[in-house]
């Protein structure tokens, strides 16, 4: 990572970023997420009062419930990709019926996040039942069947050609923000599925599908060992890193990391107690990262409706607007709780907007 060590100051600025701003508005202009060279820019006007946008390079927002994926109506259908680049693809599955085949993705790891619905990931390692708030990581090539219980489900699907790993936050110990033993790892099971003459494994490779049919049920594994396995983690088992005196940059909330992207969990937590410190995400231009956010839940849904799916391309100023900031600051008292749960995917290389997502955000 490019690092610099020369800092300058000019004009009006605060001694400690994010603290004691008074009438100033602070904009965080940074490279490499929030880890690289940075400038704080100070203004007395709100920097994010958008009047209009002309052109295609802009934030895009939809209600994820409006996504019509092929797997909603066709059990052999797939999720709908909204955004992708060489490192990561972000899709939404609305699968209503069980896969009538076993599935194997050779294009990379699959990380599911369950926004809505319950069901079963039947894997060759054993069953993983799922519920809202679950992340399910399926390493590349894992054989599985997705078998939802409900009629309605909404799953975020993150696919990456390079391995997706649980992020280790080295400076805060081995059990923070996730104790690794809270991960749920499948144990072998006999699925007791009715006998079949042949068993289909539907394989995805370079985006295309091939089916190989086997005489014996490929899910009949009677034991396994090793350090390559699927697992699940519910967001309620993540204990967010926080500070009472300063709003932490989102990199502290990374849950998974892959080559060229990270997956973040924004979780309910107590707001910064120091009323002199900015609580809200500062105005920022994350100049090296595209940002994607699914609002999973909000205990105070008047503010932000769960299910919102937002895309902010790198370099576009965001944060809040002045009206929201003023209202939030006015009702903020020590001990205020932030109520939102959001799942973020931030990528270094720019994401391409799929034709379907573009149409939905025209």
Contacts with Fe ion, 264-293, as mask; x by CB under 5 A: ---------------------------x--
Q: How many residues bind Fe ion (CB under 5 A)?
A: 1
> Are 142 and 185 contacting, i.e. CB atoms less than 8 angstroms apart?
no
Q: Which is nearer to Fe ion, 124 or 291 (CB)?
A: 291
**Residue with smaller CB distance to Fe ion, 105 or 341:** 341
CA angle at 310 for the pair 309 and 315, rounded to the nearest 5°: 160
Site string for Fe ion, 90-109 (x = CB under 5 A): --------------------
* 72 or 263: CB nearest Fe ion: 263
Nearer to Fe ion by C-beta: 177 or 250?
250
Over the window 288 to 317, marking each residue x when it contacts Fe ion by CB under 5 A and - when it does not, the resulting string is ---x--------------------------
* Residue 145, strand partner residues: 122
- State the Cα–Cα distance between residues 346 and 289, nearest whole angstrom: 6
Three-state secondary-structure class, residue 298: strand
Question: Which pairing describes strands 199-205 and 102-105: parallel, antiparallel, or unpaired?
Answer: parallel
For Fe ion, give the closer residue by CB, 109 or 291: 291
Give the span between the Cα atoms of 338 and 326, in whole angstroms: 16
CB of residue 346 to Fe ion, shortest distance in Å: 8
First and final C-alpha spacing in the chain? 36
What residue number has its CB nearest to Fe ion? 291
Name the minimum Å distance from CB 238 to Fe ion: 19
Least Å distance, CB 343 to Fe ion, is 14
CA 128 to CA 212: how far, in whole Å?
24
Q: Are 79 and 157 in contact (CB under 8 A)?
A: yes
Residue with smaller CB distance to Fe ion, 288 or 291: 291
* CB 99, CB 75: distance < 8 Å: yes
Minimum distance between the CB of residue 289 and Fe ion, rounded to whole angstroms? Answer: 8
Task: Return the HEC string of 144-191.
Answer: EEEEECCCCCEEEEEEECCCCEECCCHHHCCCCCCCHHHCECCCCCCC
> Rounded to whole angstroms, what are the CA distances from 273 to 248, 276, 329, 342?
13, 9, 12, 22
For the bound state, the minimum distance from the C-beta of residue 329 to Fe ion, rounded and expressed in Å, comes to: 19
Q: Single out the residue of 306, 288, 289 nearest to residue 297, CA to CA.
A: 306
Q: Give min distance, CB of 281 to Fe ion, in A.
A: 6
CB of 291 to Fe ion, least distance (A): 5
- Each residue 232-271 as x (binds Fe ion by CB under 5 A) or -, in order, gives ----------------------------------------
Shortest distance in whole angstroms from residue 293 CB to Fe ion: 8
Pick 53 or 275: Cβ nearer Fe ion: 53
Q: Is 159 in the site for Fe ion (CB under 5 A)?
A: no
Q: Of 71 and 291, which CB lies nearer to Fe ion in the complex structure?
A: 291
Question: Contact residues for Fe ion (CB under 5 A)?
Answer: 291
């Amino acid at each position: 990572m490019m690092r610099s060590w020369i800092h300058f100051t000019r004009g009006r600025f605060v001694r400690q970023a994010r603290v004691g701003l008074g009438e100033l508005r602070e904009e965080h202009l940074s490279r490499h997420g929030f880890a690289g060279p940075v400038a704080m820019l100070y203004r007395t006007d709100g920097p994010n009062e958008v009047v209009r946008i002309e052109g295609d390079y802009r934030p895009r927002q939809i209600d994820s419930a409006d996504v019509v994926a092929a797997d909603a109506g066709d059990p052999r259908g797939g999720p709908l990709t909204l955004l992708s680049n060489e490192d990561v693809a972000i899709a939404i599955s609305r699968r209503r019926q069980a896969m009538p085949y076993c599935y194997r993705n050779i294009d990379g790891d699959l990380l599911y996040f369950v926004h809505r619905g319950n069901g079963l990931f039947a894997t060759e390692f054993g069953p993983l039942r799922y519920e809202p708030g679950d992340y399910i990581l399926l390493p590349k090539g894992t054989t599985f069947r997705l078998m939802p219980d409900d009629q309605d489900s909404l799953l975020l699907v993150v696919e990456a050609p390079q391995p997706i790993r649980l992020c280790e936050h080295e400076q805060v110990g081995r059990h923070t923000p996730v104790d690794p033993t809270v991960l749920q790892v499948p144990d072998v099971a006999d699925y007791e599925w009715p006998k079949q003459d042949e068993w289909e494994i539907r394989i995805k490779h370079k985006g295309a599908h091939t089916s190989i049919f086997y005489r014996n049920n490929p899910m009949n594994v009677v034991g396994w060992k090793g350090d390559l396995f699927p697992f699940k983690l519910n967001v309620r088992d993540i204990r967010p890193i926080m500070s009472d005196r300063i709003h932490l940059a989102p990199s502290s909330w990374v849950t998974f990391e892959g080559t060229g992207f990270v997956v973040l969990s924004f979780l309910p937590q107590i707001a910064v107690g120091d009323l002199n410190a900015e609580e809200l995400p500062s105005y920022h231009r994350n100049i090296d990262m595209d940002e994607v956010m699914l609002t999973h839940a909000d205990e105070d849904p008047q503010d932000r409706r769960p299910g919102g799916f937002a895309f902010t391309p790198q370099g576009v100023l965001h944060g809040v607007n002045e009206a929201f900031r003023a209202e939030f600051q006015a009702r903020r008292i020590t001990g205020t709780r932030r109520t939102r749960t959001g799942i973020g995917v931030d990528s270094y290389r720019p994401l391409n907007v799929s034709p379907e997502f573009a149409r939905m955000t025209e």
